[in-house]
């Protein structure tokens, strides 16, 4: 662990320096620039904590913390830094840093989701146990070690069922099985993914498949209460065998009563987990009027998807998150009046990306604001369920949600990907 502060508490001639915002983010994050820009707009002094120096670090007057985000000793390193500089908040950009941010905040006495709540939220088995105990809708489930026979557990859970790792994100290793043969193949494939993932728990969850439409709710927990920021429709069916997300559109086109039920269920689920202060990203399924929580992640929406959200005054989601973390959120953030959305461009097949055609045409599609290809040419593409990345993101904004969805689909049809079969 290396600490490279460039200021001290006293500063030149004894002048005090501003409180520091510690941003915890791995160098793999898509969101470094967005959070740094938001911190600059907030006038916050920033220290980035990551596994190695970020490209943005030389512009950081408050220095950089180089540490292993998964190492418990990283908490002590941030606490030691806090003895030299007053830390106002510790914020994680992505999944990689949520546990460290929670533990460091607890050590420093700062408002944040409690570490135990974060641990329960990121473990699918613990989440299901909490939801069931709280009387929330929850599918039948059993946890099965990687080296065990899943047949008996699946028979008790019933078919169709879904096999999923306990802690991996982005739908990695999540596979639907409709019968015993499909279960055996799904379990073996998901187990291989877990074994190849450092730090993943050596257990798989087998749970009853939950039918229905899926939505995502972006929100903030404040004093234990949920502040909803945006409700996204996912218009593409997520029925398996893999569960690759594609289009998010907000505002939701569901009936108002259904939207209210979603928000209330998400709030109950977050409270049951003990999430009390900070962002939450909830995934729920709605079938026959029942909203079933699938996941309440103790973080904000991933990838570049946050760019689909704007709030009053042109604020970004990162602006809102930092305002809240720094204790400056004066009122409920109101989302812009326009509809907006994002398409996470799926990887169609494995191979090496050799080129992308149609980008200029996509940018001229009505209502499309931008397209970003996030995997460089020459890199190997790994689709779900083994992969955890998208080819890129398409963003659209229009007066109505239907127009946003049409624009995203048209833009995606315009793109052509040259993928060479085989390994890179």
360, exposed or middle or buried, with CB in 10 Å at 0-12, 13-18, 19+?
exposed
- Within a domain: residue 230? yes
Q: Per the structure, how many domains does the chain have?
A: 4
For residue 116, pLDDT beyond 80? yes
Q: In this predicted structure, what is the pLDDT of residue 54?
A: 60
Average pLDDT over residues 83-96: 94
What CATH number did the domain enclosing 157 receive? 3.30.1490.20
The CATH number given to whatever domain includes residue 250 is: 3.30.470.20
Question: Which pLDDT band, with edges at 50, 70 and 90, does 52 fall under?
Answer: confident
Give the pLDDT of residue 19: 85
Same domain, 182 and 149: yes
Sorted by sequence, the CB contacts under 8 Å of residue 40 that are 6+ apart come out as none
Q: What is the pLDDT of residue 306?
A: 97
Least confident residue range of 127-131, 196-200, 290-294: 196-200
Higher pLDDT, 424 or 283: 283
* Calpha distance 357→78 (Å, rounded): 45
The mean pLDDT value for 223-238 works out to 97
Last residue of a domain, one of 71, 94, 112: 112
Cα-based distances in Å from 59 to 10, 46, 64 = 21, 10, 10
**Total length of the chain:** 424
Judge whether residue 7 has pLDDT over 90.
Answer: no
Q: Is residue 131 part of a domain?
A: no
Query: In the predicted model, is pLDDT for residue 109 greater than 50?
Result: yes
Share of the chain above pLDDT 70, in %: 93
Same domain, residue pair 98 and 150: no
For the chain, the first-to-last Cα distance in angstroms comes to 33
Instruction: Note whether 206 and 158 are within 8 A (CB).
Output: no
φ, ψ (nearest 5 deg) of residue 40: -65, -40
Instruction: Identify the pLDDT of residue 373.
Output: 97
Say what the pLDDT of residue 423 is.
54
Could you tell me if 214 and 204 lie in one domain? Answer: no
Residue whose structure tokens are 């490279």: 4
Order across the sheet with 20-24: list the strands: 2-3, 64-66, 45-50, 20-24, 87-92
In this predicted structure, the answer to whether residue 316 has a pLDDT above a threshold of 70 is yes
Q: How far apart are CA 205 and CA 165, in angstroms?
A: 6
CATH at residue 98: 3.40.50.20
Q: Which tokens sit at 13?
A: 């001639």
Contacts of 387 (CB under 8 A, 6+ apart): 172, 347, 381
For residue 23, give its domain range: 2-112
At residue 9, the pLDDT reads 34
Rounded average pLDDT over 148-154: 96
**345 and 394 share a domain?**
yes
Alpha carbon dihedral 386, 294, 305, 328, in 10-degree steps, equals -140
Asked whether residue 8 falls in the same domain as residue 86, the answer is yes
Residue 12 has pLDDT above 80, yes or no: no
At residue 62, the pLDDT reads: 58
pLDDT score recorded for residue 53: 76
The predicted structure's pLDDT at residue 11: 36
Note whether residue 419 is domain-resident. Answer: yes
Whether residue 394 contacts residue 362, with contact meaning beta carbons closer than 8 Å, is answered with yes
**Section 280-299 average pLDDT:** 97
């Amino acid at each position: 662990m290396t600490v490279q502060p460039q200021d001290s508490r006293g500063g030149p001639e004894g002048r005090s320096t501003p409180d520091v915002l510690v941003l915890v983010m791995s160098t793999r994050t898509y969101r470094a620039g967005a959070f740094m820009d938001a911190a600059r707009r907030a006038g916050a002094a920033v220290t980035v904590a990551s596994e190695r120096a970020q490209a943005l670090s030389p512009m950081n007057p408050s220095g950089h913390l180089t540490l292993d985000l998964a190492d418990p000793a990283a908490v002590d390193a941030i606490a030691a830094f806090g003895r030299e500089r007053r830390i106002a908040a510790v914020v994680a950009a992505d999944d990689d840093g949520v546990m460290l941010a929670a533990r460091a905040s607890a050590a420093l006495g700062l408002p944040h989701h409690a570490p135990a709540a974060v641990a329960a939220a990121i473990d699918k088995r613990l989440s299901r146990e909490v939801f069931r105990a709280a009387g929330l809708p929850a599918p039948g489930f059993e946890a099965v070690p990687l080296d065990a026979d899943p047949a008996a557990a699946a028979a008790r859970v019933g078919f169709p069922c879904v096999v999923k790792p306990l802690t991996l994100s982005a739908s990695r290793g999540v596979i639907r099985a409709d019968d015993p043969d499909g279960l055996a193949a799904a379990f073996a494939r998901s187990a291989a993914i877990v074994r190849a993932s450092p730090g993943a728990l050596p257990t798989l969850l087998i749970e009853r498949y939950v039918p229905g439409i899926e939505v995502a709710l972006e929100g903030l927990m404040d004093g234990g209460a949920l502040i909803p920021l945006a409700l996204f429709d996912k218009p593409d069916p997520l029925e398996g065998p893999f569960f690759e997300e594609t289009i998010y559109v907000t505002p939701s086109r569901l009936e108002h009563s259904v939207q209210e039920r979603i928000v209330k269920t998400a709030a109950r689920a977050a409270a049951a987990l003990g999430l009390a202060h900070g962002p939450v990203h909830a995934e729920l399924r709605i079938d026959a009027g029942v909203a079933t929580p699938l996941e309440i992640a103790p973080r904000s929406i991933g990838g570049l998807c946050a760019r689909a959200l704007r709030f009053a005054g042109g604020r970004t989601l990162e602006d809102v998150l930092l305002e809240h973390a720094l204790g400056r959120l004066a009122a409920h953030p109101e989302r812009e009046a326009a509809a907006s959305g994002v398409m996470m461009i799926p990887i169609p097949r494995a191979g090496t990306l050799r080129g992308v055609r149609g980008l200029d045409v996509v940018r001229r599609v009505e209502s499309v604001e931008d397209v970003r290809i996030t995997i460089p040419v020459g890199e190997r593409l790994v689709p779900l369920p083994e992969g955890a990345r998208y080819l890129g993101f398409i963003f659209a904004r229009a007066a109505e949600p239907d127009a946003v969805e049409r624009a995203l689909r048209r833009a995606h049809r315009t793109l052509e990907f040259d993928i060479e079969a085989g390994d890179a």
